[in-house]
Structure 1
Amino acid sequence: MKIKCLIVDDEPLARQLLQNHIAQMDMLEVVGQCSNAIKAAEMLRTTAVDLLFLDIKMPQITGIDFLKTLKNPPCVIFTTAYREYALEGYELDVLDYLLKPITFDRFFKAIERYYVRMSPRETVVRPAAVPEESIFIKTGTRFHKLNAAEVLYIESIKDYIVVHRQGKEKLSAKYKIGDLEEDLKDKGFLRIHRSFIVNLNKITAFSAQDVEIGAVQLPVGNSYKEYVFKVLKVS
């Protein structure tokens, strides 16, 4: 089945460029074009849409404000000439952020991300084999020795990390998650988000959007998706 695309942009030339890019890929189909968010809202109520190409700076309602109103939005790719909205787009979990003028090469990569995200969730049958090792976390002047096998995942909260452990209390410490990532990269741990590092042996299910550790569901950050999915697919 073809991927049904809706283009929302107040610039006719920008809409035409996207239409031309889409026409070069057999698996994509344009089901509509809108010059503003109000018309887009009407179309989304009556038309099935898989992928929304959404401009940010538009009259009446911005693309960001429009996306926030949607309860069950399709996958969204922001299209804009302004870099400063990238962080907010990340927080809204959009699929990609394309800067105008959009080249076909960059457009193609965004479509590849769509396929990665829409891949079905897979159950981890054989987690990566990792030898049990110890890690040390410094709190104040003390070093705490942790068995890597008991760590479920590590969460970053501002300047602190929280180590979530199996059957034990959480351990908090003032630590930069980036420094810890470097220490753990050869011990069977994987950075999946700017705020989360997970123990590969504890993952019970995953998709391109999130990772499950038992009943806990952790998001996969947009900038980590391709690498995370590649690692987990071969684990």
Structure 2
Amino acid sequence: MATRCLLVDDEPLAVQLLRQHIGQLPFFEVAGSCANAVEALEVLNHQPIDLLFLDIRMPQLSGLELLKSLRRAPPTILTTAHREYALDGFDLDVVDYLLKPVTFDRFFQSVERFLRRSQQPLSNVLTSSEPQVIYLKSGYKYFKLDLRHILYVESMKDYIRVVTTERTIVSKYKLGDLERELQDKGFLRIHRSYVINMAHVTAFTASELELGVHRLPVGDSYKAYVEKTMPRR
């Protein structure tokens, strides 16, 4: 289920920037946006909202006044250009306090704080409702990867290198953890440093596999398993 976000801000450019940031996160969606707190109150009374992005200085009713008026406020991230309201916000137990203009890295930290608080850790790999798709985090972005296009994954100590037919992505992740994510999806561990997509194997021997132009070694402790697992016609 996607995390439904409500954006409350009377500055269109601020709303547009938050929409762009949220659009880079899988499983997050903008449920709506409001130009003032009165409109937001109407939405909150009639729709389920999981995360509220709330400006403080707005006409009619401030963001802080809105929070105080709610019997049960959703988790809230305050957005404002004014530092002086920070203590007031934390007195209301908000998730975080973002200063405008909101950069993506600072926004991302707030989202991770929200997920930790709701006990939903943001993994470097997110599975999708689409059975052949995962999202892999590289830097501050999540990349949508079609499993059918992955050639192989290489371990680089605390990182992995994912080579696909279209691109190469490096992510801070353990190869063993990704191997578990790919279990029963046509992937095979052939070496302590390599997991391959069996669909792309073009030739193999007891000690080496070829995936088109890529030639990868088979580890000694994996040879018997690879020999038994690789399909033959």
TM-score computed with the length of structure 2 as normaliser: 0.51
What is the CA–CA distance in structure 1 between the aligned matches of 2:31 and 2:90, rounded to whole Å?
Answer: 26
Q: Give the letter for the 1:2 counterpart.
A: A
Q: Displacement, 1:71?
A: 0.5
What is the CA–CA distance in structure 2 between the aligned matches of 1:16 and 1:92, rounded to whole Å?
Answer: 26
SS at match of 2:76: strand
Instruction: Look at both structures and tell me which one has the larger radius of gyration over its CA atoms.
Output: 2
Q: Give the letter for the 1:113 counterpart.
A: R
Q: Give the letter for the 2:42 counterpart.
A: E
Q: Match for residue 113 of structure 2?
A: 113
Pairing 1:148-187 to 2, within 5 Å after superposition: none
Q: Match for residue 11 of structure 1?
A: 11
Q: Match for residue 229 of structure 2?
A: none
Q: Deviations over 1:164-216 (max 9, x none)?
A: xxxxxxxxxxxxxxxxxxxxxxxxxxxxxxxxxxxxxxxxxxxxxxxxxxxxx
Pairing 1:7-156 to 2, within 5 Å after superposition: 7-119=7-119
Q: Deviations over 1:56-110 (max 9, x none)?
A: 0000000001100000110000000000000011111100000000000000000
How many residues are paired up?
120
What is the CA–CA distance in structure 2 between the aligned matches of 1:53 and 1:37, rounded to whole Å?
Answer: 11
Q: Match for residue 144 of structure 2?
A: none
Q: Give the letter for the 1:42 counterpart.
A: E
Query: Which segments of 5 or more consecutive residues in structure 1 lack a partner in the other structure?
Result: 121-235
Q: Match for residue 231 of structure 1?
A: none
SS at match of 1:94: coil
What is the CA–CA distance in structure 2 between the aligned matches of 1:71 and 1:32, rounded to whole Å?
Answer: 21
What is the CA–CA distance in structure 2 between the aligned matches of 1:21 and 1:48, rounded to whole Å?
Answer: 21
Query: Which segments of 5 or more consecutive residues in structure 2 lack a partner in the other structure?
Result: 121-233
Q: Match for residue 141 of structure 1?
A: none
SS at match of 1:54: strand
What percent identity do the matched residue pairs reach? Answer: 57
Runs of 4+ in structure 1 over 4 Å off: none
Q: Displacement, 1:27?
A: 1.8
